[in-house]
């Protein structure tokens, strides 16, 4: 199989860039597959497992692109989100030669490669920072954000870190504070300095020259801060039970992120991406819909600003429907939607909504209009791992308490019932999930109705169905507890009906007669219906008869 061109022509004759019809699969490389037996996943391991993801084999999952979380040289204070060299591979994960082989092997299977880009902060061991902190006269001093204490001796401003504590640390050598909205080991670059912008744009070109197809840009909305670094106001709606050191959680983030100036940088960044063919820029950011939608620019900023809203809703048909409708209404015509239901930072999907509803979530994610991103292991219904206190690794959990630890969603991928679940030959860096003997790839591959086989079927169906790839979205009237929508396309419409409850529900399909293409229960398909009942926790795709 060869890589399809960057602009594909769908069966309807509509030209669409690859990233609009693609399903993206997030790989957290430390936990995907260990290739060299040290207990930590690596790039060689990803190469070994590519056939699982896509390729000619009919039992491949059938995704179109992988996004690999950071694998660059790093002291691993934040497991790679503290980069000490943007142009290499950390020896834990391999080397540049392995990376090149990975890109090649992925492309041969038709898989695009998206990598993480961490522009807001470097590691404190990056040579830019060691130089910057060495003297107030350093040529790199202004590459980071240095400030004196205020006249009363207090910190330069009141900003906090999502990892707990203030966003400023005093550097005794030069007597000034540096800004770090994450760990003190993650000092923030000063993107108002054109030299920083130039150097970081060259990082993009370095990887584009190696053949990557896109970037997922870490906390991209934070790279420009208020020019005067003004204090953030308190947030009256903040939960009352936050840990004492969660200053960040108690503030309205008015001045530390989402500043207008970030859009100027993003427009220039887009020009860099556009120097190459068919590159996709994805941004990690939140914000209100009105603020968020600006990150598409006039089709000249990000291609896909991540949309985490479905993870933030209660798991309830009305809430999910409202969120989808609001998104659809907010998008300008040329902006393409995108949805995420799991990441390496949030509780596991199946732990949040239960294993029965995880099937509904899979059908939802793969049938809404837009580009879905699937987090590794969610196709198996992996739950939050149990990580004993003495094995806690995540700095967020270590600083804000185990309840805030992200370790449970980063436990190794369970491949089979063998030692260490086939992930590694030795005890892995985080414990294997307790249910790995029953919940793993090999076992689920052999069970026709497993979640893994549902994902495979949905992915296959999606790839062959223009209405799901590019059809319009329309909410379909449904009883409480059910979320239904139609994806309209000239080659044939599809009705998707999802039962968010554990009670049966009757759906009056009115004019929508047709045959059932796929049920999340995997036990009915092909039958013609004029109206139908959804069983508890069942979702159905109906091929509408015109
Ligand atoms: C967001 C990343 O997803 C998260 O894992 C990381 O800790 C922060 N950004 C800081 O880079
Ligand atoms: Ca390894």
What's the pLDDT tens digit per position in 303-323?
999 999 999 999 999 999 999
Pairing of strands 514-519, 539-544: antiparallel
Sheet of 146-147, strands arranged across: 146-147, 176-179, 168-171
Q: Is 488 helix (H, G, I), strand (E, B) or coil?
A: strand
The CA 423 to ligand 2 mean position distance, Å, reads 10
The CA 345 to ligand 1 mean position distance, Å, reads 7
pLDDT band at 11 (very low <50, low <70, confident <90, very high): very low
Return the pLDDT at 12.
44
Q: Of all atoms in ligand 1, which is nearest to the CA of residue 121?
A: 11
Average pLDDT over residues 336-342: 98
Return the pLDDT at 7.
57
Contact present, 451 and 426 (Cβ < 8 Å): no
Pocket of ligand 1 (CB under 6 A): 78, 81, 118, 182, 218-219, 284, 344-345
Return the pLDDT at 519.
97
Residue from 78, 282, 393 to probe ligand 1 pocket by mutation (most atoms less than 8 Å from CB): 78
Contact present, 426 and 39 (Cβ < 8 Å): yes
CB atoms < 10 A from the CB of 311, how many? Answer: 18
Catalytic residue among 59, 95, 139, 275: 275
Q: Of all atoms in ligand 1, which is nearest to the CA of residue 120?
A: 11
Ligand nearest to the CA of 80: 1
Return the pLDDT at 526.
82
Residue with CA nearest ligand 1 atom 5: 345
Catalytic residue among 218, 257, 538, 543: 218
User: Does pTM top 0.85 for this prediction?
Assistant: yes
The CA 473 to ligand 2 mean position distance, Å, reads 43
Contact present, 109 and 176 (Cβ < 8 Å): no
What's the pLDDT tens digit per position in 366-417?
999 999 999 999 999 999 999 999 999 999 999 999 999 999 999 999 999 9
Q: Which helix (H) or strand (E) holds 8?
A: strand 7-9
- Per the annotation, the verdict on 275 as an active-site residue is yes
Residue with CA nearest ligand 1 atom 10: 81
Return the pLDDT at 525.
83
Q: Of all atoms in ligand 1, which is nearest to the CA of residue 118?
A: 11
pLDDT band at 3 (very low <50, low <70, confident <90, very high): low
Ligand nearest to the CA of 41: 2
- Per the annotation, the verdict on 490 as an active-site residue is no
Q: Of all atoms in ligand 1, which is nearest to the CA of residue 78?
A: 7
Characterise 501 by phi-psi region: left (phi > 0), alpha (psi -120 to 50), beta (else): beta
Residue with CA nearest ligand 1 atom 11: 81
Residue 226 in this model has a pLDDT that exceeds 60 = yes
Residue 1 in this model has a pLDDT that exceeds 60 = no
Return the pLDDT at 6.
64
The CA 33 to ligand 2 mean position distance, Å, reads 8
Residue closest to 409 by CA, chosen among 394, 398, 390: 394
Burial class of residue 209, CB neighbours in 10 A (0-12, 13-18, 19+): exposed
The CA 81 to ligand 1 mean position distance, Å, reads 6
What's the pLDDT tens digit per position in 138-187?
999 999 999 999 999 999 999 999 999 999 999 999 999 999 999 999 99
Lowest mean pLDDT among 9-23, 64-78, 421-435, 456-470: 9-23
Give the helix ranges, DSSP H, for 109-178. 127-134
Average pLDDT over residues 533-542: 96
CB atoms < 10 A from the CB of 469, how many? Answer: 21
The CA 25 to ligand 2 mean position distance, Å, reads 20
Rounded Cα distance between 307 and 214, Å, is: 17
Residue with CA nearest ligand 1 atom 3: 345
């Amino acid at each position: 199989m060869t890589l399809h061109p960057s602009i594909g022509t769908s069966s309807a004759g509509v030209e669409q860039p690859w990233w609009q019809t693609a399903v993206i699969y997030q790989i957290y490389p430390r936990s995907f597959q260990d290739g060299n037996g040290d207990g930590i996943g690596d790039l060689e391991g990803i190469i070994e497992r590519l056939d699982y993801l896509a390729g000619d084999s009919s039992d491949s999952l059938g995704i179109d692109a992988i996004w690999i979380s950071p694998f660059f040289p790093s002291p691993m204070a934040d497991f790679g989100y503290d980069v000490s060299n943007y142009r290499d591979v950390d020896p834990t994960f391999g080397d540049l030669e392995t990376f090149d082989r990975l890109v090649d092997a992925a492309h041969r299977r038709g898989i695009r490669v998206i990598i993480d880009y961490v522009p807001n902060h470097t590691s404190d061991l990056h040579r830019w920072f060691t130089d910057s902190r060495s003297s107030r006269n350093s040529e790199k001093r202004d590459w980071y954000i240095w400030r004196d204490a205020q006249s009363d001796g207090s910190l330069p401003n009141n900003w906090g870190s999502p990892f707990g504590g203030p966003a400023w640390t005093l550097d005794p050598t030069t007597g000034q504070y540096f800004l770090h909205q994450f760990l003190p080991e993650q000092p923030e670059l000063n993107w108002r300095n054109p030299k920083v912008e130039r150097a970081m744009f060259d990082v993009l070109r370095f990887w584009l020259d190696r053949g990557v197809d896109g970037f997922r840009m870490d906390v991209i909305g934070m790279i420009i801060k208020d020019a005067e670094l003004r204090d953030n106001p308190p947030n009256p709606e903040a939960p009352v039970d936050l840990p004492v050191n969660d200053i960040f959680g108690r503030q309205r983030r008015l001045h530390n992120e989402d500043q207008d100036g970030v859009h100027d940088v993003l427009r220039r960044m887009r020009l860099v991406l556009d120097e190459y063919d068919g590159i996709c820029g994805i941004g990690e950011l939140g914000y209100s819909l009105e603020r968020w939608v600006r990150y598409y620019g006039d089709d000249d900023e990000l291609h896909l600003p991540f949309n985490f809203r479905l993870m933030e809703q209660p798991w309830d048909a009305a809430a999910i429907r409202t969120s989808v409708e609001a998104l659809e209404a907010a998008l300008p015509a040329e902006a393409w939607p995108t949805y995420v239901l799991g990441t390496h930072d949030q509780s596991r999907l199946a732990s949040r909504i239960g294993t029965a509803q995880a099937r509904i979530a899979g059908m939802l994610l793969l049938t809404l209009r837009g580009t879905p991103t699937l987090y590794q292991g969610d196709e198996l219904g992996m739950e939050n791992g149990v990580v004993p206190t003495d094995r806690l690794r995540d700095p967020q959990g270590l600083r804000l308490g185990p309840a805030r630890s992200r370790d449970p969603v980063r436990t190794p991928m369970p491949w089979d019932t063998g030692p260490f679940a086939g992930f590694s030959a030795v005890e892995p860096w985080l414990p294997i999930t307790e249910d790995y003997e029953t919940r793993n790839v090999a076992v689920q591959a052999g069970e026709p109705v497993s979640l893994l086989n549902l994902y495979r079927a949905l992915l296959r169906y999606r790839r062959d169905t223009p209405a799901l790839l590019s059809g319009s979205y329309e909410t379909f009237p449904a009883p409480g507890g059910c979320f239904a929508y139609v994806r309209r396309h000239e080659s044939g419409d599809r009705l998707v009906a999802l039962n968010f409850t554990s009670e049966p529900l009757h759906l009056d399909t009115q004019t929508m007669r047709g045959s059932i293409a796929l049920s999340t229960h995997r036990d009915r398909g092909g039958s013609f219906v004029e109206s139908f009942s959804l069983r508890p926790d069942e979702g159905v795709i109906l091929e509408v008869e015109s």
